[in-house]
Structure 1
């Protein structure tokens, strides 16, 4: 069973849900009516946090699960938690100013790279070595 990875998956989904609710609140706060996604820089930064999270989820989730299956549930969960922390740092920084998004982006990108390359390496190793 992959209890730790499942927990991190749900935490990632909750984080994404949270970023979505922030967009809804920001629409009201900054007066950005649907279907607009531009017109107020503060709103646009909140919106980009949500969209960038969505853009990374298709890379993160399969890598997380394949890492758990081929390497370690606990290890996948640990690196996955680092990814979530990176997304939180990204959200806080980007909400303040565009240049402040970089540390969080680097943290989450590094975590995702570890998961992706770790899973890929383990899969290839098993194919080659039976």
Structure 2
């Protein structure tokens, strides 16, 4: 819930951007290796890491998703990066694009010590 509050507050002050899942909508599995930097997130994706400073398991999306709850890292992460190629990333606190939401701008990355979650997403403001 804290991410919901935090990202809602951020959305009120700035626009946020995101990336899409390659191929069909959905999420890629957790990456087994510990990434060295947010740039390890493939271009066109929104990536989350379980740990601070882009460490631990990584999961990524590159499409619109109505339900991200089956992907464990999206339910408990501390770092994120929108490496979207053309779009901003719109996140939702509930499945089926419900609840509170915010937009993470393309290129935005952040890490903190708070556990966050996202239950669904869309790509917006494509250019």
Greater RCO (Cα-Cα under 8 Å, separation 6 or more): 2
TM-score interval for Structure 1 and Structure 2 normalised by the shorter chain: under 0.3
TM-score with structure 1 setting the length: 0.21
- Higher strand proportion (structure 1 or 2): 2
TM-score with structure 2 setting the length: 0.21
